[in-house]
Every structure is written in C-alpha cells, then in structure tokens.
A and B are shown apart, each in its own frame.
Chain A
Amino acid sequence: DAMVIQNPRYQVTQFGKPVTLSCSQTLNHNVMYWYQQKSSQAPKLLFHYYDKDFNNEADTPDNFQSRRPNTSFCFLDIRSPGLGDAAMYLCATSSRLGDSGRYTFGSGTRLTVV
C-alpha cells in the first residue's frame, strides 16, 4: 500500500497560471518535505515542515509556497510557473529530522509548463 501519495502523477499547466500539487501520507510522520528534481539530476530540497513549523531553503524562489493544513496533507503551490519550473516534484516524509528518521518518498508529480 502506498504510504506517501502524490496527486496528480502528471500535471500540465500554462505559463504563469497558479498550480497546486498535493501530497498525503498515512505514516503519521512529523516531517514532510518537497523536493524539485530536473531530468537525471539529484532532488533539490525546496522546504520542509516539522509539524506546523515551515522551513524554507535559502535558495528556494518566492514563487514556491507550501501549506500543511494537518499532519497528513501537504501542498506545493507555484504562484506563477515558468518554463524553468518544469520538473518532477517529490514529496517525502520522515518521523523526525536527522538520520534516525527514515525517509519515504512519494512517486512524484511530473509538472509540464506550456
């Protein structure tokens, strides 16, 4: 059974049109992460939530926002997608920060910007 579920698997959006990607988890993990991964590259951390505390990476553009209304759900909002934002977006969870918390990744959402 999938434990970290991302919807949709594929998303096409227009240049400049706001888009929201969703992630849900059944693991009851405290930490949820959003990564951006471009073709054949390493995932790049955008931000994470530890419970309700939001932590943004220093180089994450303001165009990217996130919401976590409850433990199970976390959303990635891209306010004005550009062509350079086309990528795979991965959600991950862990029970706690640090290497004692095992990461579980979702299958990702492939975003295309037209």
Chain B
Amino acid sequence: TQLLEQSPQFLSIQEGENLTVYCNSSSVFSSLQWYRQEPGEGPVLLVTVVTGGEVKKLKRLTFQFGDARKDSSLHITAAQPGDTGLYLCAGFYSGNTGKLIFGQGTTLQVKP
C-alpha cells in the first residue's frame, strides 16, 4: 500500500495552462515536501510545508498543506516548458522514525 498517493501520475499540457498536482494520505504528516526531478538528476527540494492550512508560493508555484496535515497540493500557473519534470511529494509521519517517504510522482510535460 502506498502511504502517499499522488495524482495524476502523468500530465501533458500546453504552455500557458494551469495545473494542480495532489498528494493525499490517510495518515497525518508532521511535514510534507515537494521535489522536482529532471531526467538523470537527483530530486531538488522546492518547498517544505509544516503547518496545517499553510500556503507557500514560489514564483508561479503555489503549495498548500491541508488543514488536517493529510494532504497537499501543488498548483502551477501559466506552465512553461521549463517546468517539465517529475514532481514528487514526500513527507515524514510519526510512525516512521524520521525517514522520508515519497509519493509515486507526477510526470509533467509542458509542450511549447
């Protein structure tokens, strides 16, 4: 069973469109992180959300942590081809002794 369910798994859109990626769990997480990974590279941390209901913005990216700290979303406004990559949510929950658990990932392709 997957502790963090990420959706959609694949997304192909045109440049300029908006999109949202979801990360859901039945468990409460003390924090959630979002990473972006390009082919052949390691994941790069985009943001960490800690407080329930927290919203963080990083240029055209908006991250939200659910009030109950069981879910998170990543919204990209006016997507650009440079946003193409694998987006991973990951988190720590109380039962895993501090190890980072990843969702399945969302492969995003933004076509010019």
Contacts and interface: CB of A to CB of B under 8 A. Distances in A.
Nearest to B104: A42
B46 interface: no
Contacts of B33: 103
A70 interface: no
B98 A110 contact: no
Mostly helix, strand, loop or mixed at chain A's interface?
A: loop
Nearest to B33: A103
Contact of B48 (A42, A48, A99, A105): A99
A45 B99 contact: yes
Interface string A73-112: 0000000000000001010100011110111011110100
Contacts of A88: 40
Interface string B86-112: 101001100001111111110100000
Contacts of A44: 102
Given A99-B48, A99-B92, A105-B42, A40 B107 contact: yes
